[in-house]
Amino acid sequence: MDLKKYIRNIPDFPKKGIIFRDITTLIQHPVAFSETIEIFHSRYKTKHIDIIAGIEARGFIFGAALAYKLGVGFVPIR
């Protein structure tokens, strides 16, 4: 699955010359979101992780799902 097609590019946001990568379009699509978490899981499942710390906003979304998949705790960081 080409996950890039589920990420919307918003040019010149928040200012001219910057391309904002909007992941809301990815997380709205259940198969794409699931595939994203599977990719993270396959990368980290053998790393002996005890806890996932997710940094505010996007880190909460992906971190919590990955922690669940890995069977470890999750700490949100603001």
pLDDT in tens, 19-39: 999 999 999 999 999 999 999
What global pTM score does this model have? 0.87
Domains in the chain: ranges and CATH: 3-77 (3.40.50.2020)
CB-based contacts of 51, cutoff 8 Å, min separation 6: 67, 72, 73, 74, 75
State percent of the chain over pLDDT 70.
100
Contact status, residue 22 vs residue 14, Cβ threshold 8 Å? no
